[in-house]
């Protein structure tokens, strides 16, 4: 298939749905899509509504903004409030509520906080402001970590001394291990993240299939990509196989992107442990800057509060990120918590599950809190 329209053809979708129904049987099946991009595609195109009723899609912790703990956000806010500092970050991060305020509110109160599209934009700001310290608030999975690594390498080459990174990059495989080890969450398989896999390849997922006996299919983001990936999972389950399969082979290679991986390994080391919102401390799940590049490490340049901060009492983002609850089951979803006034990160990010439900999955009338009725999806192309 060469063109986008070919990935959205209703007839092909119906054929896949019929095959999925034949393979899925009658027993309840729980499939987790890890990536927030998949969650939004699922709701945008009404995929969940056209699957057999015994297949339940669980939304995973693949949104990097969503898994950011409040304490780390408070650290970023603290950095932005220091003298002669310009903090840069991606747009979604600006709205995330910390323990007392957000980056957007801190900016309104006078801090110099700027939205950028890449860490290289931050490097340009550092060159233009030699008398200020520029700190890039870096976050994301292996998808965005290479661009951060390349920026640090360029900074070292050019000997730019007023630039540093506050690294909050996280790794997908340890998060998956934490999920399959969670006794409250019984999953039958995974729709694997496409963008992360372009970088890391398919090989790292073998531990999920071999050790935990969970099939996983790396998927693209178009409707037929996702449906084909679910069909591939159903085929594995019906044949009692647990393997790593690659539906997104037009972009994902088994060995990944070796240039990106080399840069990451050169600049970053794996942290012993890192806190995730909802999932708690996960061993070997975060990236820190190696001592050789300590001059570009904001955690070396600044003495940070580094405190653990509990989530808002009314917010159930943690349970949603673990797949234990659906967004519409949260007590404040769509009422006290909206994209304009978010209480939790899942409603803030463009990849958050709550944002997807709010944008695509709600009825025109308010969700009934008394019945707990699931909102109907109103946007479908099939």
pLDDT at 187 over 50: yes
pLDDT band at 380 (very low <50, low <70, confident <90, very high): low
pLDDT band at 361 (very low <50, low <70, confident <90, very high): low
Q: What percent of the chain has pLDDT over 90?
A: 67
d(CA 238, CA 338): 40
Tell how many helices (H) and how many strands (E) occur in the chain: 15, 13
Q: How many CB atoms lie within 10 A of CB 239?
A: 10
Q: How far is CA 175 from the centre of its chain?
A: 11
**280-283 and 273-276 beta bridge pairing:** antiparallel
pLDDT at 316 over 70: yes
Backbone torsions φ then ψ of 344, nearest 5 degrees: -120, 165
Which of 3-17, 39-53, 349-363 is most confident? 39-53
Q: How far is CA 329 from CA 183, 227, 288, 336, in A?
A: 20, 26, 35, 14
pLDDT of residue 339: 85
pLDDT band at 364 (very low <50, low <70, confident <90, very high): very low
Q: Are 276 and 72 in contact (CB under 8 A)?
A: no
pLDDT at 1 over 60: no
Of the chain, the end-to-end C-alpha distance in Å amounts to 18
d(CA 59, CA 254): 25
pLDDT of residue 88: 98
pLDDT of residue 370: 39
Q: Which domains does the chain have, with CATH numbers?
A: 1-312 (3.40.50.11740)
Backbone torsions φ then ψ of 305, nearest 5 degrees: -60, -40
Q: Return all residues near 368 (Cβ < 8 A) that are at least 6 apart.
A: none
pLDDT-wise least confident of 96-100, 105-109, 110-114, 297-301 = 96-100
pLDDT band at 230 (very low <50, low <70, confident <90, very high): very high
- Mean of pLDDT values over 156-163: 97
| Average pLDDT, rounded, for the chain | 90
pLDDT of residue 376: 52
pLDDT at 220 over 50: yes
pLDDT at 281 over 60: yes
pLDDT at 25 over 50: yes
């Amino acid at each position: 298939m060469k063109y986008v329209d070919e990935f959205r053809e209703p007839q092909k979708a119906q054929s896949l749905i019929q095959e999925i129904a034949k393979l899925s049987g009658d027993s309840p099946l729980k499939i987790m899509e890890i990536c927030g991009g998949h969650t939004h595609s699922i709701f945008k195109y009404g995929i969940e509504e056209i699957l057999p009723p015994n297949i339940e899609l669980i939304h995973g912790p693949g949104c990097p903004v969503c898994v950011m703990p409040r304490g780390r956000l408070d650290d970023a806010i603290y950095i932005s409030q220091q003298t002669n500092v310009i903090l840069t970050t991606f747009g979604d991060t600006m709205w995330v509520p910390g323990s007392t305020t957000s980056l957007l509110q801190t900016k309104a109160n006078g801090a110099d906080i700027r939205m950028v599209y890449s860490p290289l934009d931050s490097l340009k700001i550092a060159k233009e402001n030699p008398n200020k310290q520029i700190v890039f608030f870096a976050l994301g999975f292996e998808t965005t970590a290479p661009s951060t690594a390349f920026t640090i390498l360029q900074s070292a080459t050019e000997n730019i001394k007023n630039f540093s990174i506050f690294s909050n990059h996280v790794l997908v495989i340890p998060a998956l291990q934490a999920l399959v080890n969670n006794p409250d969450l019984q999953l039958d398989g995974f729709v694997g993240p496409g963008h992360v896999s372009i970088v890391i390849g398919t090989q790292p997922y073998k531990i999920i299939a071999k050790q935990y006996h969970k099939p996983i299919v790396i998927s693209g983001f178009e409707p037929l990509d996702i449906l084909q990936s679910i069909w591939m999972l159903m085929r594995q389950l019906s044949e009692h196989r647990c393997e790593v399969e690659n539906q997104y082979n037009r972009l994902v290679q088994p060995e990944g992107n070796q240039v990106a991986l080399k840069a990451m390994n050169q600049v970053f080391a794996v942290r012993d442990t890192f806190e995730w919102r909802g999932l708690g401390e996960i061993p070997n799940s975060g990236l820190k800057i190696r001592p050789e590049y300590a001059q570009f490490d904001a955690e070396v340049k600044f003495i940070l509060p580094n405190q653990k901060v509990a989530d808002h009492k009314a917010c159930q983002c943690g349970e949603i990120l673990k797949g234990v609850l659906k967004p519409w089951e949260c007590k404040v979803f769509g009422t006290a918590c909206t994209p304009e006034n978010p209480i939790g990160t899942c409603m803030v990010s463009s990849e958050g599950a709550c944002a997807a439900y709010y944008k695509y999955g709600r009825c025109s009338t308010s969700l009934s809190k008394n019945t707990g009725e699931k909102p109907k999806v109103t946007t479908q192309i099939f």
